Amino acid sequence: MDTTPTYSTGEPILAGDVVLFGVEEGVVELVIAKGSPAEGYIQEGVMLLGPTFGRMHVKFGDEDLILVGRTKV
């Protein structure tokens, strides 16, 4: 069973993704999935960083989280 966190569109959530959360733009700073080092400190989800809201934790499956673009590696 695949446990990769995804957006509602089915695309995987990756650190560095530019997203819209509601009407605010931000960047996925950290993906906290089952077994990740941060999981013991905070619930599964993503840590967003945005100019208007600072840092914010969002649970997986939040319909307000929309992928805008990917950072090229």
Residue 55 pLDDT greater than 80, yes or no = yes
CB-count exposure of residue 6 (10 Å: 0-12, 13-18, 19+) = middle
Residue 73 has pLDDT above 60, yes or no: no
Q: What is the pTM of this model?
A: 0.83
Unique residue bearing structure tokens 């992928």: 67
Going 65 to 30 to 51 to 19, the CA torsion angle's sign is negative
Question: What pLDDT is stored for residue 42 in this prediction?
Answer: 78
pLDDT for 11 beyond 50: yes
Give the chain's mean pLDDT.
Answer: 86
